[in-house]
Amino acid sequence: MCNGLAVNWRAFFYVYKTRIQKTLAYRFDVYGNIIWQCIVMFATAYFWKALYTGYDTVKGVQVEDMMTYTIVSSMMSLFFITFVEQRVIQSVEKGTVATDMLKPIPLFGIYFFEDLGYTTSLIVQNVIPIFIIGSIFIGVPVPHSTFMLLLFIPSVIMAYMINWLFAACFSTWAFTAINMNPMVQVKKHLIRLLSGCIIPMWFFPEWLSDILNVLPFVYIYQLPLDIYIGKYEMGILLQKMGIQALWLLVLWCLFVYLQKRVTKHVLVQGG
């Protein structure tokens, strides 16, 4: 696919741009989404504030950090949206997958750039407004230090890739399972609950968080957020980023393998 990427750069960029335009086309959706997301973010913030009444720090985390955590995780969950599963399921269900795969541009490449386009438009439309509204009404989510912010950016990019690759690998399941929708739901909720998106890992019992630290989920939300609020020392964080990079590599290999297998499967059986 690396090679393909160079060749198909123009096509991918086109897909990316079109997706942004499509998303921007519906302004009512945009306003509606922002209102909903703000309500949910406020609810989460007040949830923690209420729990913290009478406590200064819990598990070494202050209430201000918890507010920062809430705003940043709301922003992240906004642009970690992927459509790759839906697209693959639809093309398998409709039976267009064989013709889609025969197109000169790699199928998953198109899906990736569509998702990237969607993410880009979401940053403009939703993430920035949420950041501003959150800063005004809840408090400016200040990163622990400038250096942590610099570390946060590559970590978030890796997290985005892990999330996308995980979804892409997961989507290849559509070629075998009959109905994927329940599985997609399970996956979505597993990620939300076990990645620290809603409830930070440090509230989990130790045995559970030990297990989760080995799984890829925590490297989607928890690690970038840990970095942002400076939960651990630099050494530990860097070490965790190493594991994150390792997971990215593993998922990439798995993705390449599954993609090859699926292509073979489709070309032999015709979808």
Partner 1 sequence: MLWEKYKSTMKITVNEKCSSAYRKSDHMIQVKNLKKNYVIAKKEKGLGGAIKSLVKSEKQTIEAVKDISFQIAKGEIVAFLGPNGAGKSTTVKMMSGILTPTSGKIFINGKEPYQNRKEVVKDLGVVFGQRTQLNWDLRLGESFELLRHVYQIDKETYEQNLQVMDNILGISEIIDIPVRQLSLGQRMRGDLVAAMLHSPSVLFLDEPTIGLDVDGKYAIRKFIKEINRVKGTTVILTTHDLGDVQELCKRLIIINHGTIIEDGPLEELVERIAPYKDLVVEFYDEEAVEHPKAQLHKQKGNVAKYRFQKADITAAQLIQEISEKKSIKDVAIEEVTIDDIIRIAYHRE
Partner 2 sequence: MLQTMKHYSKVSLAHLRIAVLTVMEYPANMLGWLLSNPIQFILGFATIKFVVEEFGSVCGWGYGQLAFLYGISVISHALSMIFFVQGWFMGYYVIEGDFDRYLLRPMSVLYQFCFTKFNLVGITDLIPGICVFVYGCLQIDYVWTLKNTIYILVTLVGATFIRGGIYLIIGSSSFWTKSINDFGGYTQELFDKTTMYPISMYPESFQFVLTYLLPIGWVSFYPTAELLGIPNGRFAWDGAVWMTLVVGIIVFVAAAIIFKCSLKRYESAGN
- In the complex, the residues that contact partner 2 under the rule CB under 8 A are 26, 28-29, 32-33, 36-37, 39-40, 42-44, 46-47, 50-51, 55, 58-59, 177-179, 181-183, 185-186, 189-190, 193, 198-199, 203-205
Cα 218 to Cα 24, 61, 190: the distances in Å are: 31, 18, 11
For residues 227 and 149, give the distance between their C-alpha atoms in angstroms, rounded to a whole number.
8
Please identify, using beta-carbon distances, which residue of 51 and 140 lies nearer to partner 2: 51
Question: Least Å distance between CB 139 and partner 2?
Answer: 14
Partner in contact with 185, chosen from partner 1, partner 2, none, beta carbon below 5 to 8 Å by kind:
partner 2
Bridge partners of residue 62, in order along the sequence: 57
Q: Which does 58 bind (CB under 5 to 8 A by kind): partner 2, partner 1, none?
A: partner 2
Distance CA 107, CA 1 (A): 10
How long, in residues, is the chain?
271
- Tell whether residue 125 is a contact of partner 1 (CB under 8 A): yes
- 214: buried, middle or exposed (CB in 10 Å: 19+, 13-18, 0-12)? exposed
For residue 58, what are the β-bridge partners?
Answer: 61
Identify which of residues 115 and 241 has a Cβ nearer to partner 2 in the complex: 115
193 is in the binding site of which of partner 1, partner 2, none (Cβ under 5 to 8 A by kind)? partner 2
78 binds partner 1 (CB under 8 A): no
